Amino acid sequence: MAFQQKINTILTLVWLMLPVAICMAQQPFMYKYTIEDGLPYPEIDFISFTKSGEAWVRYSSGEALSRFDGINWTHYRLDELGLPLGLAFLSDDEFGVWFTCRFSDKLWLVCLTPAGEWKKYEIKLRCWLYFDPSDGRFTLMDAHFFSYKYDAKTDLFLRSDKPAYALKEMQDSVFYYLSNTADGSPYAAFKTSENTYLYRYGEDFQYSFISTAPDFKPIYISGKTISGLFWKNGQLQWWDGKMAKPIVVTLPTGRKGKQVRWSNLNYWGRKRNLSDPNALIVEDPASGIFYLYAIENNGSTRLLLSHLPKDIFWSAIAQDKHGHWWCGTSSGLVRTNQSQLVFNETTPGMVTGLHAINEDLVGNIWMGGYTGSGGFTVFDGDKLQRQIFGNQSMPVLPGPCHSASGTLYFFVEAPWGMIAIRNTQLIPIYIPINENGNPAVGFFFQPLRNGLIALGLVGEGLGIATEDGGLISSIQTIGKEKGLLLDNVLTVSEDGGGRLWAGRMSQGVAIYDPQRDTAITWLRSPDVPNSIGAMASCVDENGTLWLGTNDGIRLLRNARQFDYLHENLFDRLEKIPMPGAAEQRVHFLKNTEQYLVAGTPEAVYFFDKKYHGRRPRIFSMKFGIDIAGGGAEQNAVLLDSKGFLWIGAQEGATRIDLSQLQFDTSATSLVLTDFRAGDEPVPIIEHDLGRLPGSKRNMQFSFSPSGNDRLKDNLFYDVLVVRDGGDTLFRRISTQQKDGFQIDHLPYGDYTLQLVAYKHNVLSGQVAYHFRVPRLLSENPWFWAGLFFLLTGTPFAIFYQRKRHQAALEKSKRERDGLKIQALASFFNPHFINNSLNWVQSRYRKDPQTTALMGRLADNVDILYSNTQFGRAHHALSQEMKLVKNYLKIQQVRFGEALTVEYDVPEELGQFDHFSVPAMLLQIHAENAVEKGIRMGTGVGRVAISVRPEVAGCRITIEDDGRGRPFEVLRKNGDREGSTSVMDNLIKLLNSYNKEPITQKYEDHVFDHPERGAHGTRVHIFIPKNYRYEFS
């Protein structure tokens, strides 16, 4: 205890006496698009947005325009299109997207129509552009006040019948320009030798203001009062209609900002001139940080954005449809997100190697660092304060907590193992937990409902701590002696029954039941199916236990009811499919009112708890693109008292305002943009590609998805090529579609190209294209049969002709030769297929599996050939079962362990010999179960066949657990008649000659599973006892 008190005194004094470093920490998240993203030039000097939310950018070279819809960048080289250089976005309407530029006194207007056609209009008169408040359209006005508006019928700009107004008192002045103020009000400027006269445009031009400042820029007009900006003695001044005053900006740091220049902001949906200013760029003289301020209608300023890029173009700042700012710079296009506040470890005052985030009673956020000197950075909602401890290094470990008493607890790599922070004082806590006197140190704290605190300890398993006076005073350990086999515990969660769930990613998962004072551990092992380890966990309001594991997310519904003494946890856990193809390690979990938040090395995922679809909707924010950092840190996550979500990542922390967090849920349309067979382009006519060139089996294709107004690439794609009949010959799951896809070879057949887009793990759009790969002559078996008979028949014909010439002399010899000819002819009958299989079987005797497979195939051919010889359409049930078993054995070789077959058939199948069945009846249904049920599903497929005798006949059942027959019906969408349909027609014909018919009944969706949903098919077949197959 003396050691504890001594450490207490020393560290508290250091904490209180040493100064703290205070730094500004309001930096929004920024992402930059560069030439690596496909931009043709790095310097962007203008950006604006259409009504639908698309971004249009202009480059400083003036040689190109680019359109961005969130997924696709489309670039337009103006000289190649025969368009004037320097075009900038003006507005968009039902006629298209409009652009403008001016060279000397020549004004150009260009329109990109909805059909993709570029139209340009040269305005040879001296005109000015403004937006008419009456209809919101851009309008031209010449020096005589005639207005011009676009007329779609004539495709011209038509002049008004009379001028808008004639200013008689300004006869000696020169019309200077026409523009709109920041609030959209149009005005006209006239110049005399001494002054500039400004007029407000309405039903007439109302006299408003005489300006003696040549660079006066109107910002707002109210009645006859006009206010705006002008420079005087290097200082930006505000004119309020009566007097001028300098604009002074006080920065968030409290320092006075240095004016850099005024700027022109483009707000989404707001009509205004392209060059008039409405904002101010200010520099912090101490830090060099640039800030963006809006200028209000009273001359005051309002902070919009901090940490502006130093190479920003003042004319290239715009706000998109959802309030995010975009900036053009000399090195690319910057997108900002003000709902995220970034605390990068390079920021002065910020800890490095962030491992822990916590909140105290007054709302201060404590961030603990592991590298360097460790320690803490405290954020008070405005500024960062670096708490330092002299030369004392204090690496902070993950998993802190805020106890019910208001104390903050952290594990640290220090002689005492853990620290408490109470009333801004740091208090070391030393509690030995073994005979060696080692301090309690670990990776996780979890307050419990009974006021105790669970600890995830290093080397000791689980700890249960008790507080005395707001500080931990004792710890009870639960280790191997009670069944908890985890060496280090990285996460702890309490279920509704008060039981504690613990996990370690490399070892497994355990449960501790305080009532029985016993623990059970399920260890992770490659020899244990579905085994996992956990690093993160939580229990939601429904009592569901969520586990962040080495292989994605698992959940256990109604965890308090789990019988840990008799059930295997790994068998009960449900796996949640994550967006994309690859599974990921989950480093933290946090339950909020709307989302279950999961952090991985790649992204932060938000499970939408209010969405109830077949697949869970999971929004994603990718590190480095949507959120700062290089991956989620272990259990570094906090939902603070103000509703902000704090994410700890490599390189720092991010605070997310959940109230402003919005995701795109719009539908996606997919369009096939290019399809080639070899090097030959294939015309795309609606959804039919037609018949491809027969000799070109190499396919390349690409497609384009539609964008979204949030300008985020949040899709992944499932691309399939499916052969009619069910075989999938090509499949790719990808987050990118820009590079296209290639198939090296496709055999002949009819195919469907399926393009499926998923957004946030939910189906967002799909489209299908049909095409046919024709059969080559060399792929036609009749060609080879004909060639064979031609080659063998020619010598026979020569030989036969010779024998005819010798017929009179050698009659007896001719008869003997005739017998030989008959033998040769019978040798080449259709039975050659079976002989060929026997030859292949003998050729591959070294491969027992292949030999067995060919043998079974030969048996089936022999059975069918025998039926054909005698003209039979039926045979014994035992023969049909032999066909089915041979077929399924072949398919088990094909699919391996992915296909299991179960038979429920009496051992003495011969007792059913008096039951005849249509040939191939059961084989066709078994094939459907494999090809259209099992093969289109996921995981291990199962086919079950049962045969039961009844008084009136025989009942046969065939079932599978595949995707189900209704899915196949929708997917095939009008396939040509197949073997099932032929069999149905045959039975229908046979039934017409029988009183008791053969029946086939389908039972769909016979199984239900919480993850796969309804699936499976069961077919019931009944064969009457005295069924007749001969017509009479």
Classified as helix, coil or strand, 604 is: strand
Mean pLDDT for all residues in the chain: 84
**312 is written with which tokens?**
């920003």
Write down the pLDDT at residue 939: 67
Give the C-alpha separation, 408 to 405, whole Å.
Answer: 9
Q: What confidence tens digit (pLDDT) does each residue in 945-963 have?
A: 999 888 888 999 999 988 8
pLDDT at 455 (0 to 100): 98
**How large a percentage of the chain has pLDDT more than 90?**
50
Residue 982 scores a pLDDT above 90: no
Distance between CA atoms of residues 217 and 206, nearest Å: 18
**pLDDT over threshold 50, residue 171:** yes
How confident is the model over 917-927, as a mean pLDDT? 88
Name the residue with tokens 């350990």: 477
Q: What pLDDT score does 809 carry?
A: 53
Chain segment 840-862, per-residue pLDDT in tens: 555 455 566 666 677 777 777 77
For 772-795, give the DSSP string.
Answer: EEPPPGGG-HHHHHHHHHHHHHHH
Higher pLDDT residue, 260 or 866? 260
Determine the Cα angle at 64 with ends 126 and 327, to 5°.
95
Distances (CA, A) of 868 to 594, 871, 984, 990: 67, 5, 20, 18
Return d(Cα 209, Cα 593) in angstroms, integer: 56
In terms of Cα–Cα distance, which of 752, 769, 749, 773 is closest to 695? 773
Per DSSP, 658 falls in state: G
Q: Rounded to an integer, what distance in angstroms lies between the CA atom of residue 715 and that of residue 761?
A: 8
| pLDDT at position 609 | 93
Q: Which residues contact 889 (CB under 8 A, 6 or more apart)?
A: 852, 853, 856
Residue that the structure tokens 């009000």 belong to: 185
* Contacts (Cβ under 8 Å, ≥6 apart) of 594: 608, 609, 610, 658
Check: pTM over 0.85? Answer yes or no: no
Banded pLDDT at 826 (limits 50, 70, 90): very low
> Strand 265-267 to strand 312-319: parallel, antiparallel, or no bridges (unpaired)?
parallel
CA distance 408 to 364: 11
**Angle, in degrees to the nearest 10, between helices 877-895 and 921-928:** 20
pLDDT in tens, 537-578: 999 999 999 999 999 999 999 999 999 999 999 999 999 988
Strand pairing class (762-773; 688-691):
parallel
What are residue 751's DSSP bridge partners?
Answer: 723, 771
646-692 residue pLDDT tens: 999 989 999 999 999 989 999 999 999 999 998 899 999 889 999 99
pLDDT exceeding 70 applies to what percent of the chain?
82
What confidence tens digit (pLDDT) does each residue in 589-627 have? 999 999 999 999 999 999 999 999 888 999 999 999 999
The pLDDT tens digits of the residues spanning 871-916 come to 677 888 888 888 898 888 888 887 888 889 999 888 766 666 678 8
Please give the pLDDT value at position 408: 97
The count of other CB atoms within 10 Å of the CB of residue 668 is 22
C-alpha torsion sign, points 911, 913, 915, 919? positive
Q: Which pLDDT value is given to residue 206?
A: 53
- Comparing CA positions, the residue from 357, 361, 901 lying closest to residue 639 is 357
User: Coil, helix or strand for 33?
Assistant: strand
Paired with 705 in beta bridges are 670
| pLDDT at 343 exceeding the cut of 70 | yes
Q: Could you write out the DSSP letters of every residue in 345-381?
A: TTSTT--SSEEEEEE-TTSPEEEEE-STTB-EEEE-S
Place of tokens 């429920």: 904
CA angle 891–896–901, rounded 5-degree value:
60
Distance CA 356, CA 335 (A): 28
CA-closest candidate to residue 451, choices 490, 403, 493: 403
- The candidate with the shortest Cα–Cα distance to 78, out of 102, 59, 103, 97, is 59
pLDDT in tens, 253-283: 888 999 888 888 888 877 655 556 788 999 9
Strands 401-402 and 383-387: what pairing?
Answer: unpaired
Q: Under 8 Å CB-to-CB from 1031, ≥6 apart: which residues?
A: 993
pLDDT of 10:
42
Side chain identity, residue 88: A
Residue 928's φ and ψ, nearest 5 degrees, are -60, -40
Mean pLDDT lowest among 421-430, 462-471, 860-869, 967-976: 967-976
Order of strands, edge to edge, in the sheet holding 290-295? 258-263, 279-283, 290-295, 301-308
Residue 645 CA from chain centroid, whole number: 22
Q: Which DSSP state fits 930?
A: I
> Helix H segments across 713-847?
781-805, 811-827, 832-843
Report, as an integer, the average pLDDT of 28-53. 94
pLDDT of residue 768 exceeding 80: yes
Cα gap 176→192, rounded to integer Å: 9
Q: Say if CB 479 and CB 460 are below 8 A apart.
A: yes
Backbone angles phi, psi at 231, to 5 degrees: -90, 140
Retrieve residue 38's tokens: 């496909």
Beta bridge partners of 495: none
